[in-house]
Structure 1
Amino acid sequence: MAVKFRDYYEVLGVPRTATQEEIQRSYRKLARKFHPDVNKARDAEDKFKEINEAYEVLKDPEKRKKYDLLGENWKTGQEFRPPPGWDYQYDFGRGGGQGEFQWGGSGGFSDFFEMLFGGQRGGRARGGARRGGGPVWSQAGADQEATVRISLEDAFHGATKSITLQMQSLTPDGQVAVQEKTYEVKIPVGIMSGRKIRLSGQGGEGMGGGPRGDLYLKIEIEPHAVYRLKDRDIYVDLPVAPWEAVLGADVQLTTLSGQVTLKIPPGTQSGQKLRLRGKGMPNPKETAGDLYVVVQIMVPKHPSRREQELFEELRKESAFNPRL
């Protein structure tokens, strides 16, 4: 059987090089414009179904890849026959994108879609009818994301933080409203920058009975005045006196997990790293990171007369040459 080819990129008004974010943004704009609850034009319903069909393919990297393999057959309106081996099925009843409009009527996808992808019609459609026997329309709320900056101490120990965000919402008349909302958020022990905390059902509102989306808080750990975080390892500088480096010493060191006594080996060099295993960033599922103490040999800026005499004596007595 041959059917008319459908250019899904043209339907969504995006180039074939479009990113997933650009595809999603264009889809949401068009879906709002042609949603039958908003647009009463005679062809709005067909246009809305066509937009959903195009997005069903282009939002999914695997479906999009298969669609793009048509290669030279990109000619709108041409007769299309799927090549051999393209008959595997997709289950459109699982997963789904963010903030998608759902079609609840009959005849979900075109013959071209069915021939290319197989699977069941209607996807995540909701059944039922409005008063008067019309189809049911629903829109799942869009997931939202915000960046939250926390201290290294909060990431290390965990904390409960009150976080106030400015959220945008769509009013019934289509206007964008901005309001503040405060959340009590539990920061897990050992969380790292880039990780996200999910607040279920705190995202955008749904339409037509659709569920709210989720709110994702992306964590960013602020730079610290004393400690440096690299992966799960923590680095800290330790100033030591020349005689401590030469003779060795036991020094008190403040770490994020408390006070420790650190042994400076005799002959320690400036810049040398002393490792404290497991004293870095905690990891609830695996081994914690390490703490690296970076030795910085310091000299007195304003030595006393006696100190100067001792250093003069040391210079006469010592055969040490740091440049050899």
Structure 2
Amino acid sequence: MKYKDYYAVMGVPRNATEAEIKTAYRKLARKFHPDLNQDENAEKRFKEVGEAYQVLKDPEKRAAFDALGTGFKDGDEIRPRTQPGADYGSDYSGDYGSAADAQDAEDFFSDLFGTRARQSARSYTPEWPGEDLHARVAVSLEDVYNGAQRTLNLQMPVIDDQGRVTYQTRTLDVAIPKGILDGQRLRLAGQGGPGIGNAPRGDLFLEIALDTHKRYRVDGRDVTIDLPLAPWEAALGAEVVVPTPSGDVTVTVPAGSAAGRRLRLKGRGIPGNPPGDFYVMLGIVLPSADTEARKAAYAEMRKAFDFDPRAHFYG
């Protein structure tokens, strides 16, 4: 019979861990599954990958395969065991009999491990773990501050009785946790694509997309608001009520504040461990000189102040 290097089939080194072998199988099974890959060689590769995985995922079978050593390459002739029907296990010694002792074999898997494996191969249904699915969920800044419940209608793949992939609308109730950030993902275990055979469903990953807010700017967990002030509030100081996503807060504007000054409210940003901060960016808004009385008021102000805003230009 012909030797098959199952490690080469799976694309993993001979010292690969069980987790690495499983990951490689999931990737290759998806790539070559006949329902998803119309290439004429896809089905053959899919079966080869399934055959290799059945051996390498089982510690006893893998040990028996490893006992062959590294002296073979793909396509080399090897002789089957003297007693093809004998059990295999950790006591496998690699003892081969003559070619005359060999029974007809269905494939390398059954030849190498004997009658029990051949019977298993006949009844083997390839297992293909469900695909992980991804979707985006738009949330408001208020949702991030307080947490929220969302009902999502998603187009999810299903496999019909003929093994064909179709899509159906699936409704999911999802809890948006308090303090989640833009770009973070929620993992819903077992809510992804269906598996084939007895393989489990994949997972559903929801990426959080924070809506742009008309009032606030977000940087990580920090939140900023622009606060307009009248000139006399900035000059004389004031107590101003400032809206935040967690409720209104009274802020003291120090006397003599200039436009661009930033006031910090520690721990009032997006919840977390630690929470972010909330910043109030001060701006000054001038009243319009749209009446004769207001123009006169500005003229009096010009007389009252010996002030040149461009004095530093000429220093």
Answer yes or no: same fold by TM over 0.5. yes
Return the letter of the residue paired with 1:301. S
Aligned with residue 298 of structure 2, among 295, 298, 311: 311
- Counterparts of 2:63 and 2:34 in 1: how far apart (Å)? 18
Aligned with residue 164 of structure 1, among 132, 149, 153: 153
- Counterparts of 1:46 and 1:208 in 2: how far apart (Å)? 17
8 Å contact from structure 2 (residues 230, 284) kept in 1: yes
Task: Give the number of the structure whose residues are more often helix, by fraction.
Answer: 2
- Counterparts of 1:227 and 1:235 in 2: how far apart (Å)? 6
Cα RMSD (Å): 4.3
Q: CA deviation at 1:45?
A: 4.2
- Counterparts of 1:113 and 1:158 in 2: how far apart (Å)? 58
Report the equivalent of 1:199. 188
- Counterparts of 1:175 and 1:220 in 2: how far apart (Å)? 33
- Counterparts of 1:113 and 1:179 in 2: how far apart (Å)? 48
Percent identity over paired residues: 34
Report the equivalent of 1:289. 276
Return the letter of the residue paired with 1:288. P
- Counterparts of 1:260 and 1:223 in 2: how far apart (Å)? 22
Q: CA deviation at 1:270?
A: 1.0
| Superposition pairs of residues 33-48 of structure 1, within 5 angstroms | 45-46=47-48, 48=50
Alpha-carbon spacing, 1:297–1:205, altered in 2? closer, same or farther (3 Å): same
2:127 counterpart SS class: strand
Report the equivalent of 2:106. none
8 Å contact from structure 2 (residues 238, 252) kept in 1: yes
Report the equivalent of 1:190. 179
- Counterparts of 1:220 and 1:320 in 2: how far apart (Å)? 48
Aligned residues: 251
Deviations 1:87-129 (A, max 9, x none): xxxxx87xxxxxxxxx8995699659976xxxx9x9xxxx999
Q: Which runs of 5+ in 1 are unaligned?
A: 13-20, 54-91, 94-102
Return the letter of the residue paired with 2:127. S
- Counterparts of 2:121 and 2:196 in 1: how far apart (Å)? 19
Matched, 1:298 2:285: yes
2:227 counterpart SS class: strand
Q: CA deviation at 1:29?
A: 2.5
Aligned with residue 256 of structure 1, among 242, 245, 264: 245
Q: Which runs of 5+ in 2 are unaligned?
A: 13-22, 71-89, 91-108, 110-115
When normalised by structure 1's length, the TM-score is: 0.64
Matched, 1:274 2:263: yes
Q: Which moved more, 1:263-272 or 1:165-174?
A: 165-174
Report the equivalent of 1:28. 30
Q: CA deviation at 1:234?
A: 0.2
Report the equivalent of 2:207. 218
Alpha-carbon spacing, 1:302–1:179, altered in 2? closer, same or farther (3 Å): farther
1:245 counterpart SS class: helix
Alpha-carbon spacing, 1:114–1:181, altered in 2? closer, same or farther (3 Å): farther
Matched, 1:180 2:182: no
Return the letter of the residue paired with 2:278. L
